[in-house]
Amino acid sequence: MLPIITEDMSAEIFSEAFQDVQAWRKNMVQYLKEENPEINSAILEVAKHDESIDLKAVALGAYLAYRLLEVANENENLSIEE
């Protein structure tokens, strides 16, 4: 089961990402190359698979979803430990 993403988590991540979308996306590429290279490769493959879609927009959406799930999972794990 996927962790629950709250409105507060969404607001925090969106605020972080939308301060400088290009820089945030580039940071996520580097982060995922180290943290989970298979996911990063999959995101980039999907994004470039169809030339009619915006590669950067697809990647941004995928990185946002990854980061939201990551934060929700961390929060859930903290709740379990307490």
Taking all residues of the chain, what is their mean pLDDT, rounded to a whole number? 90
Whole-angstrom Cα distance, residue 70 to residue 51? Answer: 29
- Do residues 36 and 71 touch, judged by C-beta distance below 8 A? no
Instruction: Report CA 69 to chain centroid distance, whole Å.
Output: 8
End-to-end CA distance of the chain: 20
pLDDT at residue 43 tops 80: yes
- Do residues 40 and 47 touch, judged by C-beta distance below 8 A? no
Alpha helices in 1-82 (DSSP H): 7-19, 21-35, 37-49, 55-81
Type of residue at 46? V
The string of pLDDT tens digits covering residues 8-32 is 999 999 999 999 999 999 999 999 9
pLDDT at residue 4 tops 90: yes
How many residues are given for the chain?
82
